[in-house]
Structures are given as C-alpha cells and as structure tokens.
A and B are shown apart, each in its own frame.
Chain A
C-alpha cells in the first residue's frame, strides 16, 4: 500500500456515509494516487458519485461530459484505447438504457477497460419514479460478453471492489446505490475477491443468495429463521458475472433449496443467472425475491421495496415455503 495516499484514504468511510455510490467516489482518490492512468468521466454526476474531492485533486485527469451518456461512454472507450483507465460516473438507469449501444459496441465488443460506476440503481431513488429506477440494468449488462458485473452490498465492499477493478482487463459494470443508507454487512476483515462470493451465515436447510441492497435483509432473514430452528445459509453474490459457480452448486448440493434476493426485476438478474446455472448443472428448487414484472410506484425506497416483497420478511417466507 502506498503510504502517500493515507491522508486521503484515512477517513473515506466517514465521507462514504454508508452509501456505495460515495464509496466508489472515495476509492477513485486512492486509485488515482496509485495509477497515473486513472481518469474519471462524469455525466453531470459530480455529487451523485461524490467525486468533488477527486476533481479538486486530479483536475487534469477529470472530464465532465455533461448530460450526455452516449458521449461519456464513447469517449471513455476512446480514452481507454490510448492506454488510460477511465471510470465513468453515471446514473444507472441512463448509462445502461440510454447509452446501451455504446456500452455494447464501444466498450464490450471492442473489449475496452472502461469501468462504469452506476449509481441510483434499483429503486434507490424511489421518490424519483420509474424514469429514474433501474430494475433491468443487471439483465442488460450481464448479457454482454467481456463484461464483469459487480453489485457491492456495502461501502467496504464497494471501496474494495472499485480498487479491484485495476486487475480486470476488460469492461466493468458496478451497480451502486442511491441516497438511501446501505447498512454494513461485510465482516471487518473481509477481503473482496472478484467472482468469489462470501458466505455471511452458515446453514444447510436452505440457502439465500442475495446481492446489493438485499444482502442485509437476507442476513436478518437468516437470523429470524435460526430462531425458528431453520438454518439458512446466506451468500453475498457480489459478482453477478463471472458468477461464483462453486458457491451456488455447493449450496444446491448441501441444502434443500435456494432463494435468490435482489432489487431488480425477476427477469434476467441474479435470480435468472442462478437459475440458468442450476437448470443445466443441478436442477434445484428455487424461490426468487425481487421486483415483479411491473414499474414501481413512487415513494420512499424502503416502502416501495416492501410493497413489492423485497424485504427480510419476504425472504423468510420464501425460505419457509421451500421447506414446507
């Protein structure tokens, strides 16, 4: 570790304020200190990703693209071809859907090292309404060859995962939260390993495979179930692609069924990815917790989540129904 970065890194946790989007912005400071090829691209998202500190310090390695996601991705790809390592700071709903062709062609097809930090994913901006929700981004992004897809569950994971992108020789989509607190779930000594899902609770009755904002409810669900005499393994599937096949296949082999939990449509996200694997390798009874096939109502994130069954209680219910 470069000691020169210690002052910047020392209180990043405080500045991240339990929000993964801000942890991403803090990690960029450490990345820039380590790697002169680091360049940050904003789509008028300087506060959304908490990068004003970065901009102040690394003005010559910052490009504001304005409200132009297609241009942000295309130019990031062009910069990557010259040897730079661009990190695009953007809104998840816009950077995936609006500029999807640029992501597919300029970044994924051309296999360029562009990291997309996609804040405001899921219904984390609940009050903003359906135009600003991103409930299909995982389905879109994981369908592209070359693409790595990461969904950090808390700020420690987001910070470490952002640093870990340095070692990924290809494009990365990092799904980040919005202006809603993401309580810590990672053990203090946890080390992020790409494609290696940490197990947060042990158990052999049932396994809950969760990602992002649903990891913390999954842990609570497991604790509730334990009090009821049911042991529920909890796996934090922070990397959606490449998927941790071993962890999923082991859970399928060692438990009576699998529940997936995500803040994403039930089509094509984590549940879909797990089901695709198990359908071929080891057909397993499953339940999927996530957003049904509808656009979400407007409202505070936690209330909207609850309306559509994305809660610890819903995970408990899904586990019990598998065992019943």
Chain B
C-alpha cells in the first residue's frame, strides 16, 4: 500500500475516533460499562487492527494470522468496536452489548470471530500469549503475538511468571503492550499498589522496553512496526495513556473505570467525540 505516513496517521486517528464512539454506543446499549480502559486503549487497538496485524476478517481462523490477546478483558467494548470496524463481526452486534445470549458481553469470549482467548480475569493473557508465541516457534510459523495488559493488572503475580518465562525462551515473536492509564477500579494505581518503576521491572525481567505516548498515533505506529526491538528479547511497549481519553468528564478518573451510561451521558460523550 502506497499510503503516505500523513494519510496513514489520519486514517488511524479517524479509526480510533470511531472506536471511541462505538465504545460509548455499546455502553449505552448495555446501560453501563468500562469506558475508561476501553478509551485509553482505542488508539493502540486501531493501529493494531487497521495497520499492524496480519489478519483476515473473512477467515478469522487463518493459521498464520498474527495474534492479539486483550488480557485487560474489561476493555472488551473497544475490542468489539475494532472487530466490528474490521469486519470480523457484524456492526449490529455492538448494539447487543450485555444482551441476553449476546456474543458481546463484558469480557472477550473465544467463541467470537477474531477473539483469541476468554480473558478479563486479570493476569491470564500474557501466559496465553506466551503459549501462542511458543506455538509459532515450535510449528515454525512466522506470526507475531501481541498482548495488551493494564498497568493495574500487573499487580497479578502470574504476569511476572510469564514475563520471566517469555524472556527465558527469548520470544522475539511476542510483544506485551501495557496500557498504562495509571488508574484501576478503586483509584490511582500508585495509591493502590505502586507498579513503578515499570520500565525497569520489564527490563529486569529480560524484556526490551520502549515507552510511548499511547495517544500519539505516530509513536504508536512506530513502536508496533519496530518490534522486535531486540534480536534476543521479547518486546514491551509501555504506552502512557489517559483513562477515558476523548471525553472530558470521563478522563483520568477511577469513576469511569466502569459506570452507568444513559442516553444523556451518551449524547454528551458523542458531542465531544464528534460525528464521523
């Protein structure tokens, strides 16, 4: 594709805006949901699905596809939004968020096209992604596995088992993206249980780390295109983000980790995000 960088970034920014609109639309349909962590992840998800990942929406089980695991599964509204925009699932599914027997609930389900694992219980995705990367290596496949974690999620000790294991096996075909929005369910991560110095932790576990502004599409694209950062180590992208990004009243507050969304709130959010 002979797309200039300027056009690429514009296209991805527009896709990310649409993801955010669709997040709020899904939350309105469900009556509530995780606006904060879905919105902080939107730019990265857009860059993954509309630029970086080699996937085939019409053939979701294509064995050579790149894998993406949303370990912070509570951002499923954003995952559903990109999967719909990419054509894995029908757009109308977004209006069935939380619906009875809907494929689109609060957390990702592997039964849905494009979803690689049932996640949302935190601290699972990195190990699963490590297994996928090992699967690629054992079967001599070229796909890359990406996994997105929350910074609060890193409280779960199982992440560090996987971090240690992936570095031991020098899984250069594995990239962990930390959506570091600095806030978890009850407050600021630094006040709950501090995770800093985060980059040093990953480095100490044997990963090559790059820190980016997770809302600067140029930095996001460069990081995703730049993996593996090291020929011997798995890659970690620490993306500094703003929880609830794009809607002023939801930004940088634990209140919008998960909250109720009615017609009025939805209208205010969409007014800020603008129409397509």
B-binding residues in A (CB < 8 A): 39, 60-61, 63, 65-66, 68, 70-71, 73-84, 86, 101-102, 105-106, 109-111
Closest to A65 in B: B165
Q: How far is the CA of A12 from the CA of B138 in the complex (A)?
A: 27
Q: Collect the chain A residues with CB atoms within 8 Å of residue B118's CB.
A: 105-106, 109-110
Q: Closest CB-CB distance, B154 to chain A, in whole Å?
A: 14
Chain A residue at minimal CB-CB distance from B135: A82
A78 partner residues in chain B, CB cutoff 8 A:
69, 117, 127-135
For the A-B complex, the count of residue pairs with Cβ-Cβ distances under 8 Å equals: 103
B46 located at the interface, meaning its Cβ lies under 8 Å from any Cβ of chain A in the complex: no
Considering the chains assembled together, what is the distance between the CA atoms of A105 and B134 in angstroms? 20
Instruction: Kindly list chain B residues whose C-beta atoms are within 8 Å of the C-beta of A63.
Output: 134, 169
Binds A, one of B156-164, B211-219, B251-259: B156-164
Contact B135 A81 (CB under 8 A): yes
Q: CA separation between A78 and B131, bound complex, in Å?
A: 4
26 examples of A-B residue contacts, CB within 8 angstroms: A60-B138, A66-B161, A66-B164, A66-B168, A68-B161, A71-B165, A74-B126, A74-B127, A74-B131, A75-B128, A75-B131, A75-B162, A77-B128, A78-B69, A78-B117, A78-B128, A78-B129, A78-B130, A78-B134, A78-B135, A79-B134, A79-B135, A105-B118, A105-B124, A106-B124, A110-B110
What sequence of 0s and 1s flags, for each residue 150-184 of chain B, a beta carbon within 8 Å of any chain A beta carbon? 00000001100110110011000000000000000
A323 and B121 alpha carbons, distance in the complex (Å): 50
- Count class of interface residues, chain B: 20 to 34
The answer to whether B141 has its CB under 8 Å from any CB of chain A is yes
Say if the beta carbon of B102 comes within 8 Å of chain A: no
User: Is the pair B131, A76 in contact by a Cβ cutoff of 8 Å?
Assistant: yes
Q: Are B134 and A75 in contact (CB under 8 A)?
A: yes
B contacts with A: majority SS? helix
Given A74-B131, A106-B124, A110-B110, also A79-B161 (CB < 8 A): no
Tell me which residues across on chain A come within 8 A of B157, comparing CB atoms: 70
CB distance from A106 to the nearest CB of B (A): 6
Q: Which of B67, B135, B161, B164 contacts A84 (CB 8 A)?
A: B135
| A114 nearest CB across to chain B (Å) | 10
Q: How many angstroms from the CA of A39 to the CA of B135 in the assembled complex?
A: 9
Q: Which residues of B contact A105 (CB under 8 A)?
A: 118-119, 121, 124
What residues of chain B lie closer than 8 Å to A77, measured between beta carbons? 117, 127-128, 131
Q: How far is the CB of A150 from chain B (nearest CB, A)?
A: 23
User: Contact at B127–A39, with CB atoms within 8 Å?
Assistant: no
- Rounded to whole angstroms, the CA-CA distance of A65 and B157 in the bound complex is 15
* A75 and B130 form a contact (CB under 8 A): yes
Chain A residues with CB below 8 A from B141, complex form: 82
- B4: Cβ under 8 A from any A Cβ: no
| Residue B63 CB within 8 A of the other chain | yes
